[in-house]
Structure 1
Amino acid sequence: MSTPVSLDTIRLAPKVLLHDHLDGGLRPQTVIDLAADAGYEGLPHQDAETLGSWFREAADSGSLERYLETFAHTVAVMQTADALRRVSAECVEDLAADGVVYAEVRYAPELFQEGGLSLPEIVESVQEGFREGERRAESQGKLIRIGTLLCAMRQNARSAEIAELAVRYRDAEVVGFDIAGPEAGFPPTRNLDAFEYLRQRNAHFTVHAGEAFGLPSIWEAIQHCGAERLGHGVRIVDDIKVDEDGEVHLGRLASYVRDRRIPLEMCPSSNLQTGAAASLAEHPIGLLSRLRFRVTVNTDNRLMSHCTMSSEFAALHETFGYGWADMQWFTVNAMKSSFLGFDDRLAIINDAIKPGYATLMG
């Protein structure tokens, strides 16, 4: 018999996460502890539960200023090697406890230099934390592997420097590159030198596109920059027309994205907070999944969105009726789309994902 679908049983399912920001996933108590260590006095609350609620409410406010303020607090307490190691190790523990078997966690090294750390020191500290987290998870019977994505902030003109850093550390589980930050006014084509460098070195990269900005952002990311995946990509739905009788018409760009199997790193809860969708029922993930785009489900910022991979799947189950077969489809999509080598991707699909879902489907 198939196991009933609930939040608790979804936690047992093997999951794959491609879009998760390190500075958006801290434990509230860790923020408080690190603030005390750093002498940072800017936190709005000193109680972990109250602080966690504040992060969620600020992110839910609909105000971009309040949303960005939340990251000012997390970044402020992550300016030492010890802090970066702790946050990274706890990130892995939390993902493993939620049943994640593979995750690509991203962050922008340039944001953590206020305390004097060099870019290599930042990357090495985070990688040490990730490896420690993997060891802790294994000691608790949870196998998880973490790949790192290094982000460049698209407004800061340091993308070539960060791209070189990603290539330098790619044999240390830095699996790719990303650009993040405001889409409007900062098109991905401002970073063409970085993308050209990455392509010439056979390196992987994804691009935040089609979240706050529309189809031109997606077109530039794919056709000018050569993005292998799209961070969010929800606005691809603007190139799809659905008639009153239900007939669907794909525009040229939507057809290209679907035909080429370009992965969409969709983050449902986060998209509601930033206004990319009005409600979960209206989120493009429903239509895009039905049309069999390469859709993946992700958390984006677990602290700000008060979510986990399991809670995202539970919400999709409740809204769209997705069951174990659908969750396996999303998970295999994500694993196929990861920046790990082919043999490693196949091993996780065959050794962890398929057996895990087979058990749940009965």
Structure 2
Amino acid sequence: MTGDPSREIIALPKVLLHDHLDGGLRPSTVIDLADRIGYTDLPSNDAVDLGTWFRDSADSGSLERYLETFEHTVAAMQTQEGLRRVAAECVQDLAADGVVYAEVRYAPEQHLSGGLALEQVVEAVNDGFRAGERQAAEAGPRIVVRALLTAMRHAAKSTEIARLVVQYRDHGVAGFDIAGAEAGFPPTRHLDAFEYLRRENAHFTIHAGEAFGLPSIWEAIQWCGAERLGHGVRIMDDFVGLGTGDEKLGLLAAYVRDRRIPLEMCPSSNIQTGAARSIATHPITHLKDARFRVTINTDNRLMSGTSMSREMQLLVDEAGWTIEDLRWATINAMKSAFYPFEQRLAIIEELVKPGYDRALEA
């Protein structure tokens, strides 16, 4: 499974809704930042070897073990200077891959060990995103990047993080998320945060249906009011008679499809964590064919050794996707973004559709 993207795929305009800032660092940046702060526990100080270590270590088949790799990237992201650099480089890398709009998430509470306050973390990342947008605009088409602030499922800071979302929503923060191990940490543990966000007319997505099944998805939607589902691959558990020729949707799956609840699907990452067996059999294709609102995402570009272009190329090569399918999923993503309606339409009409039209005419 290589997925080396063609020029045609790289040139396509892309929309990314599920990407973790601490999962997308350049290996050379991890090494440099670790050296600056005196962090000595990296498994390698060679950028190529370190990148390989991250990918190999993430190929565990376990979400919990996959998450352990973040110890090193988070350790390197404990200063405002480091956070600004990582955020700016993230935007540059996405722009070089043809991304025109992205929502990049991170957990402010994980970047406090160096003495920063939560507000300093958010402002540093926001500054980095704006710098990255300016730098990308000098080199090519514009890119818009907005932040999602994540609360960790096992911690008790979700309401505090939710208040940060509201505080900074006019300064580049698009919404809220919870992340971390699903088993034992249901989304209803954070119900106060979700109720606060709804009262404040703020947007949020929830990691659900990745390592845990339908109860996680049901709680995220029906108790917490999630607008989107992070991953959501386990919605397939509610397909009755799957593969029998007499397939029907269960009540929850039908509700998700009928309400057009977006699924932030991350094929390569799901294979690494054991949520899917292969690209060819990944639920994203079956859900696309069943007309769920699926979107294509990277999750963690460093740990998966991936990009949006690679994820798209893998779907073309191994799951039979066409350029028309990629266009449909990209428009799905832009429709589902936590971004003002008129600006979403402008990106679809001015960037996404013309870009795919050029590819289809070639």
State the TM-score, normalized to the length of structure 1. 0.97
Q: Percent identity?
A: 66
| Cross-structure match for 1:267 | 266
Structure 1, unaligned runs of 5 or more: none
- Measured on the aligned residues, the alpha-carbon RMSD in Å equals 1.2
> What SS is found at the alignment partner of 2:77?
coil
Could you tell me which amino acid in structure 1 is paired with residue 329 of structure 2? F
Contact 1:97 1:142 in 2 (8 A): no
Whichever residue aligns with residue 195 of structure 1, its letter is F
Aligned length: 358
Q: Give how far 1:279 is off.
A: 1.4
Q: How far 1:66 moved relative to its partner?
A: 4.3
- CA contact 2:148–2:174 (8 Å) conserved in 1: yes
Structure 2 residue aligned with 1:352: 351
For the residue of structure 2 that corresponds to 1:166, the secondary structure is helix
Give how far 1:339 is off. 0.3
> Which runs of structure 2 are paired with 1:293-304 in the superposition (5 Å)?
293-304=292-303
Opposite residue 158 of structure 2, the aligned amino acid is S
C-alpha distance in structure 2 between counterparts of 1:6 and 1:77, whole Å: 30
Kept in 1, the 8 Å contact 2:62–2:274? The answer is no
User: What secondary structure is seen at the aligned counterpart in 2 of 1:237?
Assistant: helix
Other structure's SS at 1:114 match: coil
Matched, 1:159 2:153: no
Report whether the alignment pairs 1:107 with 2:109: no
Residue 227 of structure 2: aligned partner: 228
CA distance in 1, matches of 2:70, 2:106: 12
1:146-295 paired onto structure 2 within 5 Å? 146-242=145-241, 245-295=244-294
2:13 alignment counterpart: 14
SS state at 1:11 partner: helix
Distance 2:59 2:348 in 1: 35
> C-alpha displacement at 1:283, in angstroms?
1.0
The match for 1:314 is 313
The one-letter amino acid of 1:165's match is L
Verify the 8 A CA contact 1:17 1:103 in the aligned structure 2.
Answer: yes
Whole-Å Cα distance in 1 between the matches of residues 326 and 64 of structure 2? 34
Q: Specify the code of the residue in structure 1 equivalent to 2:358.
A: T
Give distance in 1, aligned partners of 2:241 and 2:284: 15
How far did 1:259 drift? 0.2
Structure 1 residue 69, shift from structure 2 partner: 2.9
**Is the 8 Å Cα contact of residues 22 and 74 (structure 2) preserved in structure 1?**
yes
- What SS does the aligned partner of 1:92 have? helix
Task: Report if the CA contact (8 A) 2:203-2:227 is conserved.
Answer: yes
Matched letter for residue 16 of structure 1: V
Shift in Å at residue 321 of structure 1? 1.6
C-alpha distance in structure 1 between counterparts of 2:137 and 2:339, whole Å: 20
Q: Which amino acid aligns with 2:26?
A: R
Q: 1:320-348: per-residue Cα shift (whole Å, max 9, x none)?
A: 22111111000000000000010010000
Which piece of structure 1 moves more, 60-69 or 196-205?
60-69
- Aligned equivalents of 1:110, 1:257: Cα separation in 2: 31
**Which AA in structure 1 matches 2:23?**
G
What secondary structure is seen at the aligned counterpart in 2 of 1:104? strand
1:18-37, CA deviations, whole angstroms, 9 ceiling, x for partnerless residues? 00000000000000000110
TM-score, normalised relative to structure 2? 0.97
Structure 2 partner of 1:90: 89
| Displacement after TM superposition at 1:65 (Å) | 5.6
